[in-house]
Amino acid sequence: MEEKKLLVPEEMYISCGAEIGTQQKTAHMKPFIAKVRNDGLYLINIEETDKRIRQAAKLLARYEPEKVMVAAVRHYARKPITKMAEICGFIAQPGRFLPGTLTNPLCGNYHEVDILLVNDPIGDKQAMAEAIKIGIPIVALCDTNNETRYVDLIIPVNNKGRKSLALTYWLLTREILKARGQIKSDEQFQYSVEDFEAEL
């Protein structure tokens, strides 16, 4: 079997720090860990990251864009999720997730959605709790320290780093457009990773 080419060269994943985990690992994330560095940091298996980005993009592409919500409390994820939502037609919820957004029709920020993408199950636990309550699938970027009990599709990646987040959402966006048939090739995707990168 020939090796499947990664979505971007491995060097690019590494230069963006996509594989850098934390010093904690949960049992849930063990299958995605490649090795532990001398300084105790766990490293994520890039091939798993790549495979899961493809799977997540195919899954998200199957939903009506306006029924997909992307939530991220983390500062460095706010710009990339907003950019992704703008290009894909999703609903972005950057910053604090207002209680009732998914569960209370009387809430000013209420949205009816069919699937939720979160940046971090820890930081985005309010969004996750509401998605669980209404019974919609959850896709999540998960680092080595994440519990993934309620996550339907895990994307194992550094979900804290500025460059890693830019790359991950850039790739997801590109692959979603390809899965929808809106673009035929990577070359037709006219955005750069920098377009998704949060300012320092």
On the CB side of 122, how many CA atoms lie within 13 Å of its CA? 10
CATH-assigned architecture of domain 10-184: 3-Layer(aba) Sandwich (3.40)
| Per-residue tokens: 76 | 């460095």
* pLDDT per residue as tens digits for the range 125-167: 999 999 999 999 999 999 999 999 999 999 999 999 999 999 9
Type of residue found at 61: A
* pLDDT per residue as tens digits for the range 65-91: 999 999 999 999 999 999 999 999 999
CB-CB neighbours of 62 under 10 Å? 12
| Per-residue tokens: 171 | 């790739």
Residue 192: exposed, middle, or buried by beta-carbon count in 10 A (0-12, 13-18, 19+)? exposed
**Would the pTM of this model clear 0.95, i.e. be above it?**
yes
| Per-residue tokens: 40 | 């105790």
DSSP state of 193: G
Q: Give the distance between the most distant pair of CA atoms in the chain.
A: 54
> How far apart are alpha carbons 74 and 157 in whole angstroms?
15
* pLDDT per residue as tens digits for the range 4-13: 799 999 999 9
> How far apart are alpha carbons 96 and 101 in whole angstroms?
11
